């Protein structure tokens, strides 16, 4: 059954269209681990031969040798391929992963489905940290709950608490629900319940639950996407994974999962999981972060071949299975620990020396590709955690006095929206210093009267404040901007009509162009800065159809066609050796100034008042 889990993950990471939810294979691994570890623990405890020391030593030899080997070689290749800033981040993640807290590091850095996820060759090690943390806690709890009744109560209590916490927090801290152990415990406990109660189904019912579990998981792997809240998708896998293991001894299970091909893959599933993601990410660094179908096929086959070698040369020889009857096995623990220390030192050096080496991409023709100064500048410019709220923010963090109080005698505009709108605030405030530009923006929170998608609580509260209170202040213009989608157009229409109905002039900024990866990384792949904008322009998704749809949906309201503003027709990415983009679509401070000046030459902000742009539905940025 591990083969089903690893195939789902592998095909998902190879960007196979029909496995949109293949990342849920990790969830299935958790359920299987919960069952196997609990079954083995209970067997040893019932035989009165259990030892925490022996348990942890076996886990160490089972997990660490292959993990350390993968991390070590990933770092070696990353030194040759990955730009310094990303190399330092990769080294940092290696340190945390080797210390079994990689999931906490990735949670603090960003979300799993960010574009930046595709630049982190060790991102997948988060799940190993979750498992290792589970291994640390669970044996002791089973020892304390020594009776069957105590074990059942402990298992169900942990499952219930984890479910409640995950359900409550999935829209508050979705990244935390994805990465952190407390929100994953219910999956381990789903497998543990089967082991504690020795549940199994055979015969007709066993066949039925195996087929139901298999079909349910395949359906989830093929249809659930990263846009689904983490607990909602996890609970689906938990339920059907429970059924799958429940029917593990049925005839259907033997046919589906006991055949030689699935057994071969399942035995190597850990090695496949370890090596496939670094191989894919490191290859993407050399190919523009996009995969063709032949490349995906080659990477998939190559991952399995390399995983088979890792399984044969490292995983099996170092694993604790039976007596240590060879010199290698007798010294396996010491060798593994020594190699882990060497790898930890290498990772620490690379992390500390963010400008490691003198490779050509360190400073490409004067553009700094190492430091984080641009990101820090942007955080200050958008007034993070005061005028721009994050998911962790409370509504009380918003400073109304500083961020959204018009000034008498000035032209006053209020910018509402998400991080795209924070960029627009930065752009307008830099370009129109004589105006008052108010700001009420929040991450992932579009300024809409009704939001059909699930959002975090602060977003809903913030929209009530923005659209019921702030817009009624003495503003000459309200500016709406967001990471718009096709589904949100009716909601945007409704919001604009509402604002017009209470006498407010509105300017809408349309969808922004998107690059497939961080512009800095795309530049780093080029040999020179000459004609760099021309080289990268074909990679930009200009979202022309979405922009047209929004313009047509808002007759009587000026809409800024950001695609035409950013690309004329070349999509500039550098100005005077300054990067214009912080990632694949957010602006740097230099980018906000550059596009702000271009905006001002095409459109005077004061003229948005009173609908003086011309014919209804006309874009605020004219053709050409």
When pLDDT is cut at 50, 70 and 90, the band that residue 526 belongs to is: confident
- Grouping H, G, I as helix, E, B as strand and the rest as coil, residue 286 is helix
pLDDT of 369 above 80: no
Binned at pLDDT 50, 70 and 90, residue 353 comes out as: confident
Task: Report d(CA 79, CA 88) in Å as an integer.
Answer: 10
Question: Per the structure block, which two tokens stand in for 370?
Answer: 């190492």
User: Helical H runs in 311-456?
Assistant: 316-318, 327-330, 332-352, 373-381, 400-403, 419-431
pLDDT in tens, 104-141: 999 988 644 454 778 899 999 999 999 999 999 999 99
| Tokens coding 138 | 């669970």
pLDDT tens digits for range 59-87: 999 999 999 999 999 999 999 888 877 88
Please check whether residue 16 is in contact with residue 39, taking contact to mean a CB–CB distance below 8 angstroms: no
Tell whether the model's pLDDT for residue 305 goes beyond 90. Answer: yes
What is the per-residue pLDDT for 362?
47
3-state secondary structure (DSSP) of residue 441: strand
pLDDT at residue 367 is higher than 70: no
- What integer is the mean pLDDT of 138-166? 95
The 3-state DSSP class for residue 606 equals: helix
**Across-strand partners of 587?**
581
Angle among Cα 435, 446, 400 to the nearest 5 degrees reads: 45
> Is residue 434 classed exposed, middle or buried when 0-12, 13-18 and 19+ CB atoms within 10 A define those classes?
exposed
Query: Does 480 or 528 have the greater pLDDT score?
Result: 480
pLDDT of amino acid 418: 94
The percentage of the chain sitting over the pLDDT mark of 70, rounded to a whole number, equals 93
Spell out the domains of the chain, with CATH numbers in brackets: 2-352 (no CATH), 367-608 (3.40.50.1110)
Find, among 234, 237, 240, the residue nearest to 163 by Cα: 234
Greater confidence (172 vs 362) lies with 172
- In tens, the pLDDT along 448-502 reads 988 777 778 888 899 999 999 999 999 999 999 999 999 999 999 999 999 999 9
Terminal Cα distance for the chain, rounded: 58
What is the token pair recorded at 535? Answer: 């080289």
pLDDT value, residue 360: 42
CA–CA separation, 268 and 316 (whole Å): 10
What is the per-residue pLDDT for 84?
78
The yes-or-no verdict on residue 604 having pLDDT over 50 is yes
Residue 283: the pLDDT is 94
Evaluate whether 200 touches 246 at the Cβ level (below 8 Å). yes
Of 317-326, 374-383, 449-458, 559-568, where does mean pLDDT reach its minimum? 449-458
Does 342 have pLDDT greater than 70?
yes
Token pair, residue 331, equals 């010294």
The C-alpha atoms of residue 178 and residue 134 are separated, in whole angstroms, by: 15
Q: Which of 348-352, 454-458, 516-520 has the lowest mean pLDDT?
A: 454-458
pTM for the full model? 0.81
d(CA 140, CA 144): 6
**String of b and e for 193-229 (b: at least 16 CB within 10 Å)?**
bbbbeeeebeeeebbebbbbbbebbbebbbebebebb
- Banded pLDDT at 270 (limits 50, 70, 90): very high
- What pLDDT does 291 receive? 87
CB 498 within 8 A of CB 449: yes
Picking from 99-103, 186-190, 274-278, 529-533, which range would have the lowest pLDDT averaged per residue? 529-533
Is a pLDDT exceeding 50 seen at residue 88?
Answer: yes
Percent of the residues in the chain that have a pLDDT greater than 90, as a whole number:
72
Q: What is the pLDDT of residue 83?
A: 81
The dihedral built from the CA positions of residue 85, 88, 94 and 99, taken in this order, carries a sign that is negative
Cβ-contact 304, 274 below 8 angstroms: no
Buried b (16+ CB within 10 A) or exposed e, 523-537: bbbeeeeeebbebbb
- Enumerate the β-bridge partners of residue 364: 367
């Amino acid at each position: 059954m591990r083969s089903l889990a690893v195939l789902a993950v592998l095909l998902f990471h190879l960007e196979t269209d029909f496995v949109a939810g293949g990342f849920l294979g990790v969830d299935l691994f958790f359920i299987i681990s919960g069952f196997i570890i609990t079954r083995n623990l209970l067997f040893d405890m019932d035989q009165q031969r259990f030892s925490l020391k022996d348990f942890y030593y076996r886990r160490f030899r089972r997990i660490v040798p292959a993990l350390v080997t993968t991390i070590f070689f990933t770092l070696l290749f990353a030194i040759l391929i990955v730009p310094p800033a990303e190399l330092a981040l990769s080294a940092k993640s290696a340190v945390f992963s080797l210390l079994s807290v990689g999931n906490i590091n990735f949670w603090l850095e960003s979300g799993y489905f960010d574009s930046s996820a595709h630049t982190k060759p060790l991102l997948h090690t988060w799940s190993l940290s979750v498992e290792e943390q589970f291994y640390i806690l669970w044996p002791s709890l089973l020892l304390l709950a020594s009776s069957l009744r105590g074990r059942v109560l402990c298992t169900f209590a942990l499952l219930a608490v984890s479910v409640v916490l995950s359900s409550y927090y999935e829209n508050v801290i979705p990244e935390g629900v994805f990465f952190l152990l407390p929100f994953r415990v219910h999956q381990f406990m789903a497998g543990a319940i089967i082991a504690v109660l020795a549940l199994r189904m055979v015969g007709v019912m066993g066949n039925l639950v195996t087929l139901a579990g298999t079909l349910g998981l395949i359906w989830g792997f093929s249809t659930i996407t990263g846009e689904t809240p983490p607990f909602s998708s996890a609970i689906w896998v938990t339920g059907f994974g429970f059924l799958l293991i429940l029917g593990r001894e049925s005839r259907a299970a033997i046919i589906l999962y006991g055949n030689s091909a699935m057994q071969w893959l399942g035995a190597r599933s850990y090695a496949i999981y370890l090596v496939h993601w670094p191989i894919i990410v490191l290859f993407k660094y050399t190919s523009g972060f996009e995969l063709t179908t032949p490349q995906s096929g080659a990477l998939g086959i190559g991952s399995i071949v390399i995983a088979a070698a890792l399984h044969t040369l490292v995983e099996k020889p170092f694993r604790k299975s039976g007596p240590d009857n060879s010199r290698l096995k007798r010294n396996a623990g010491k060798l593994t620990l020594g190699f882990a220390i060497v790898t930890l030192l290498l990772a620490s050096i690379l992390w500390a020396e963010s400008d490691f080496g003198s490779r050509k991409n360190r400073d490409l023709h004067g553009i700094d590709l190492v430091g984080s100064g641009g990101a820090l500048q942007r955080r200050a410019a958008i007034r993070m955690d005061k005028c721009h709220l994050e998911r962790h923010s409370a509504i009380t963090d918003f400073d109304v006095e500083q961020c959204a109080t018009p000034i008498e005698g000035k032209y006053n505009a209020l910018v509402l929206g998400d991080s795209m709108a924070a960029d627009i605030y930065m752009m307008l405030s830099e370009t129109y210093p004589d105006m008052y530009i108010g700001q009420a923006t929040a991450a992932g929170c579009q300024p809409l009267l009704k939001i059909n998608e699930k959002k975090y609580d602060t977003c809903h509260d913030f929209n009530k404040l923005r659209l019921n209170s702030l817009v009624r202040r003495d503003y000459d213009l309200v500016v709406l901007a967001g990471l718009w989608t096709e589904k949100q157009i009716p909601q945007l229409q409704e919001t604009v009509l509402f604002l017009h109905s209470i006498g407010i002039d509105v300017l809408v900024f349309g969808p922004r162009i998107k690059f497939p990866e961080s512009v800095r990384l795309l530049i780093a792949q080029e040999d020179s800065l000459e004609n760099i904008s021309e080289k990268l322009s074909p990679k930009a998704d200009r979202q022309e159809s979405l922009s047209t749809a929004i313009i047509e949906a808002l007759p009587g309201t000026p809409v800024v066609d950001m695609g035409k503003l950013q690309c004329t027709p070349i999509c500039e990415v550098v100005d005077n050796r300054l990067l214009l983009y912080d990632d694949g679509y957010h602006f740097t401070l230099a980018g906000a100034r550059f596009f702000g000046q271009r905006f001002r030459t095409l459109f005077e902000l004061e003229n948005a008042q009173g609908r003086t742009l011309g014919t209804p539905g006309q874009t605020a940025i004219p053709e050409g």
